[in-house]
Structures are given as C-alpha cells and as structure tokens.
Amino acid sequence: MSRSTLAITDLLEDYLRSNTLRESPILAELRAETASHRLAKMQLAPEQGALLTLLLRLIGARRYLEVGVFTGYSSLTAALAMGEGSQVVACDASEEFTRIARAYWHKAGVDDRIELRLQDALKSLDALLAEGLAGTFDCLFIDADKPAYPAYYERGLQLVRQGGLIVLDNMLLGGRVVSPEPGEPAGVRVVRQLNRNLRDDERVECCLLPVGDGLTLLVKR
C-alpha cells in the first residue's frame, strides 16, 4: 500500500520497460524507427501501449476509434490487441506521418482491420455521427491537438457505447497543468479546465493515471 504515487526516474523507467513489457517485435521496430523522427516525443510510451492492450482485452473491444495516429503505434497496438475481425477507425490529418503508420499496419498484416480517415479529425467524427455510428465503438483514444480535446470528447462520447472506454493522453502536459503561467499555450488552459470538467461529469466514471504524460480513463455510464 502507498499513500502517494512514486515519481518515475529514468532508471525506474528503464527497469520497467526492460523487465515488465511484452512489446511485440513489430511494435518495438516501429518504436525504434520513430525514435529518429523529428517529432519522436509525440509517440505513445510503450507502457501506455501495454495498458491500452490490457484495457481493450478486459472490455473485449472489437471496435476502436482513434484521434491522432502519428506513425501508428497506438492504432497498431489496438489492432493487435483486439485480433482478427476487429475494426479500427484511425483519424489524422497528416499524410506524411500516417505513411509510416500504413507501412507498419501492412507489415503487421493488420491493414484490413484499419480504416484511415485523413482529414481534420473533427470532420471525421462528425462524419461518423452522420453515418449513424453513434454508440457503436467500444473504445475511443484521443491523442491529438489539445485545444480541440473538449470537442473530440463530446463527439466521442456519442460514438462510444454505454460501458465503453474513452482514453485521453497528455492530461498532465509535462506538469504544466499545475501552475498557470502568463502566455502559456491555449492547449494548457483547455486541458486544465477539461480535467476539472471530467471530474464533475456525471456521464462518465473518471480516473487520471500518471502513466506517460498522464492518461485519463473514462467509462461511459
């Protein structure tokens, strides 16, 4: 038992990654390739991927929706975790980043499980609602531009089934949520306010885990 959360040092993180992770070779390869990308720090942490895998299996997820694909680590994690016959709808606006994702989906043999929607994610979520897909997803993962998080969340809440899971990444924003600073990016204020709103949102159960940059888990009531 413990009364507080352990601060993770680099040494502990190395220990955790090399002694507890069961990352598949294809995910390890994608992580290694992305490490040399100029925006490598945008990639999901592998321990977050392990948690996502466990959660998707726990709820028996078959349909997963993602906002923010980058080079494909989280979408590939989901497709592998859910297995054959499952469906991933992956939303991103970047042809450049998702070219790498598509190559890895193909290499992993899961490209038939993943539909990429390549445009502004708000448009994709609106289109999914217009297509009558409300209440049909088991899980939504939000990992994109912070100012739009509340809009992604409101649309996503409609798209996820009752009892389904919503996961939001970067909810601690490298610690910047703690102390407001003059001139801070709009996204910081948005995430700070969203944390408070989610705590009080009766439509969901809510828990923020200090894994990676802060992962909020919501279950739709």
Ligand X SMILES: C[S@@+](CC[C@H](N)C(=O)[O-])C[C@H]1O[C@@H](n2cnc3c(N)ncnc32)[C@H](O)[C@@H]1O
Q: What is the largest CA-CA distance in the chain?
A: 49
Give Rg (Cα) of the chain. 17
The amino acid at residue 23 is E
Cβ distance to ligand X smaller for residue 8 or 42: 42
Cβ distance to ligand X smaller for residue 35 or 180: 35
- 3-state DSSP assignment of residue 216: strand
Beta bridge partners of 165: 139, 219
The token pair at 196 is 């408070």
Cβ distance to ligand X smaller for residue 66 or 138: 66
Contact flag: residue 213 with ligand X (CB under 6 A): no
Contact flag: residue 42 with ligand X (CB under 6 A): yes
Candidates 4-12, 19-27, 36-44, 108-116; binding stretch for ligand X (CB under 6 A): 36-44
Out of 27, 114, 116, 144, the only residue in the binding site for ligand X (CB under 6 A) is 144
In whole angstroms, what is the distance from residue 10 CA to residue 207 CA? 25
Contact flag: residue 142 with ligand X (CB under 6 A): no
The residue written with tokens 């009766």 in the block is 202
Candidates 20-28, 125-133, 137-145, 212-220; binding stretch for ligand X (CB under 6 A): 137-145
In whole angstroms, what is the distance from residue 65 CA to residue 142 CA? 9
Which residues in this chain contact ligand X in the complex, by CB under 6 A? 42-44, 68-71, 73-74, 91-94, 97, 120-121, 143-145, 148
